[in-house]
Chain A
């Protein structure tokens, strides 16, 4: 089976996010009030071949741990669904 994987890489809670805070400041300058807790991450999309969703999930998890995230500062949210 081929699965669509979407990995959202985001900074761990408590890690300073200079991009997020800069964007937050800018929203205020632009007149958008009440925008808070801006955090910037990145999303990485790809396809993965696996026999079932569970296997796909474990492949992607390992990929995230070893490569796509730096566990010192980042964590990943993984979404897997059948490609289509």
Chain B
């Protein structure tokens, strides 16, 4: 795999938020931000790209990850800590975790209900692209999906917020293993 950096960037994180107010659809306008073309190229060249929450939505809108994120089944924004299960350690986000590891990490979204066609779901399952699932599905996500990666495993997206679970004062440090994996992946590509 050929690795190319642009402008000295080792990795890209598209964080959470409500880019452009989530108007039209979450990520639909942000997906056309000037930076996105470079990010798409960076991803296609094998660079590590992580989308968290709104960032995940942007990545699906941009076609870097399959599927789409719909409104939560309960039709409400959800801010709560959930339990995640690491399904695959073969991704730039999970390679330092162990399979079956459970992590307590908050979710904070209205549209985190992962949806895709049956074919896509089959592909995700067969190619081991489902990296994180909810142990108790909070939002109606298909196959309890909380996070996925692309076939090349360098682009990952997840609805939960690992950065919000990185300090004992914030209630959990379970997010660290994910971000540390990602950082290590970033260094590896330098």
Contacts and interface: CB of A to CB of B under 8 A. Distances in A.
A19 B72 CA distance: 9
Given A16-B140, A67-B28, A68-B24, A73 B72 contact: no
Interface of A: 15-16, 18-19, 22, 67-68, 70, 72-73
10 contacts: A15-B70, A15-B115, A16-B73, A18-B70, A18-B71, A70-B60, A70-B68, A72-B66, A72-B68, A73-B70
Nearest to B71: A18
Given A70-B25, A72-B115, A18 B68 contact: no
A16 B72 contact: no
B174 interface: no
Contacts of B70: 15-16, 18, 73
A22 B24 CA distance: 21
Contacts of A67: 24, 28, 32
Interface of B: 24-25, 28, 32, 60-61, 66-68, 70-75, 113, 115-117, 140
A72 B27 CA distance: 14
Contacts of A73: 68, 70, 115
Given A70-B61, A72-B67, A18 B28 contact: no
A72 B117 CA distance: 8
Given A18-B74, A70-B61, 6 more contacts: A18-B72, A70-B25, A72-B68, A72-B115, A73-B70, A73-B115
Most B Cβ at <10 Å: residue of A15, A68, A70, A73: A70
